[in-house]
Amino acid sequence: MARLVIVSNRVTIGGKKGQAPGGLATALKDVLTPETIWFGWSGRRTEQSGRLTQHNSDGAQIIAMDLSEEDYKKFYIGFANRTLWPLMHYRPGLLQFDRSDYDGYLKVNHRFADALMSILQPDDIVWVHDYHFIPLAACLRQRNFAGRIGFYLHIPFAPPALFAVLPPGRALLSALCEYDHVGFQTEADLHHFRSCVRDILNYSINKDGVIFGPNRPCISSAIPVGIDTEGFAHMAAEAEHQAEAERLRESMGSKALILGVDRLDYSKGLPQRFSAYGRLLEKHPEHRQQVSLLQIAPKSRDDVKEYRDIKRQLDQLVGQINGQHADFDWVPLRYITRDMPRMVLAGFHRIARVGLVTPLRDGMNLVAKEFVAAQDPNDPGVLVLSRFAGAAAELQDALLINPFDPDEIADALHVALTMSLSERQARWRRMYETIRRNTASAWAQTCLQAATGSRRLTISPASRYHWQTDQRLEAQNEETTWPVRPAV
């Protein structure tokens, strides 16, 4: 039977499934079975890259590779997080490009391909996640793996004018077309990707979104990632009565809780959010002493300078806002940079009156969905959500704001804090219905069907593709290799 082999940068070792903070672990936790192989970086930096270890987890068989310090710096810190991450989050000003980082990125992809080839069986389905592994399918094809390979991009895809800034953009785009399926969070991301493929590579795309590159057809579609909505709702209802939620509630007294939960990342709009909260207390003084903002922001990627910078900026801002507004019996802004157990977070969402989710740009943002899932149907809180989060396309009943405008956020907070129960219930009900339909497991199944279902593709006789007798779709006459250092 075909096995599912998931590849992502980080894997969860030695924990329960979905325990690590971060969207991917959370989204995948419901599709892992004991037969699934989950392949990724161990998180260990050692003398040399390449050592593989096997781990038991309650979700899947985990195989993890160590990376050398140099590979870690070039692949992870360098090209993945100082080039691709800022570019795809529309921040070219933060982008840094270095050819040797890019070489390191390709090298790690080839290393992963080598290791994968030693465990892959011909009919395995490989599902690759995120911007760390864009070239992986091409690397596997070079090594003659002919099975199905799907890809999912969890972060946004930049529009063509921005994408053009990326020096190896052309090579990465054509590498994406080596997948059988590439999935995106939103129609906008999909549109950007297809426009890049058309404008930069001149590949044709048919009306079903099939891209005709030189080697194989690649299906592209938008499949927004979901959560285990009912599971999270149950967890929140239970967690509400646990010690941490009780303590938080007690510390709040009759004040309303505004809650933010984000990895500490410059894409999440935290400085603007804190300023907006300060504006709320200035513009709407009736909320002074009546609200508290609790921001949970576990540190991430603190080997990247821009992440240390944003942490320093936030430490300062928190001091300023509390210094200006606090009273001897009131701390307006509570700020925690440790991560919290998922269950505790669920309980906090449940007792929050407002969920404040204001990324400057976000692929989806699972926190927005978790906030909605966690609410008490009889007395739901209000979601204030950035219109630049992928989740905004589905959660139209949130109060949608421009995260660059602290005044607009402040006004939305005021509306949220004063909204009638009947309006809160009506908005919540529609949002809950949406996220109840589009769960994490529905998302995973749709992605996997898209990656494997292309066997049933109807290719026109004029096309250069045909079905091989072994059902593998391949180019008729060309042997392909993907250049290790593509022409820029």
What residue ranges bind ligand GDG (CB under 6 A)? 21-24, 26-27, 154-155, 225, 261, 263, 296, 298, 339-342, 345, 362-367, 370
On the 0-12 / 13-18 / 19+ scale of CB atoms within 10 A, 481 is exposed
Least distance CB 451 / ligand GDG (angstroms): 17
Residues found in the chain = 488
Q: Which residues contact 189 (CB under 8 A, 6 or more apart)?
A: 153, 156, 157, 222, 363, 390
Q: How far apart are CA 381 and CA 350, in angstroms?
A: 8
Q: How far apart are CA 91 and CA 161, in angstroms?
A: 13
Q: How far apart are CA 173 and CA 436, in angstroms?
A: 34
**Among the options 132, 154, 181, 349, which is catalytic?**
154
Query: Between residues 141 and 273, which has the closer beta carbon with respect to ligand GDG?
Result: 273
Query: Between residues 289 and 402, which has the closer beta carbon with respect to ligand GDG?
Result: 402
Rounded to the nearest angstrom, the gap between the alpha carbon of residue 67 and the centroid of all alpha carbons in its chain is: 23
Q: What are phi and psi of 91, to 5 degrees?
A: -125, 65
Least distance CB 114 / ligand GDG (angstroms): 27
Least distance CB 86 / ligand GDG (angstroms): 13
The residue of the chain with the least Cβ separation from ligand GDG equals 23
Least distance CB 215 / ligand GDG (angstroms): 28
Strand, helix or coil at 451? Answer: helix
Q: Are 368 and 357 in contact (CB under 8 A)?
A: yes
On the 0-12 / 13-18 / 19+ scale of CB atoms within 10 A, 450 is buried
CA dihedral 42, 45, 50, 53 (to 10 degrees): -40
Two structure tokens written together for 208: 């079903």
Which 8-state DSSP code applies to residue 393? G
The HSE-up count of residue 203 (CA atoms within 13 Å, CB side) is 28
Q: Are 367 and 158 in contact (CB under 8 A)?
A: no
Which 8-state DSSP code applies to residue 264? B
Least distance CB 108 / ligand GDG (angstroms): 20
Least distance CB 267 / ligand GDG (angstroms): 7
Q: Are 223 and 183 in contact (CB under 8 A)?
A: yes
**Among the options 124, 189, 362, 397, which is catalytic?**
362
Strand, helix or coil at 199? Answer: helix
Two structure tokens written together for 313: 């900026």
Q: What are phi and psi of 111, to 5 degrees?
A: -65, -45
Least distance CB 231 / ligand GDG (angstroms): 12
Annotation says 123 is catalytic: no
Query: Between residues 72 and 371, which has the closer beta carbon with respect to ligand GDG?
Result: 371
Q: Are 417 and 283 in contact (CB under 8 A)?
A: no
Least distance CB 105 / ligand GDG (angstroms): 19
Q: Are 283 and 407 in contact (CB under 8 A)?
A: yes
What is the DSSP secondary-structure string of 238-250? Answer: HHTTSHHHHHHHH
Least distance CB 409 / ligand GDG (angstroms): 18
Q: Are 112 and 39 in contact (CB under 8 A)?
A: yes
Cα-based distances in Å from 273 to 35, 77, 353, 362, 411: 43, 26, 16, 15, 12
Annotation says 154 is catalytic: yes
Place of tokens 């090209």: 79
Query: Between residues 213 and 359, which has the closer beta carbon with respect to ligand GDG?
Result: 359
| Catalytic positions, written as ranges | 154, 362
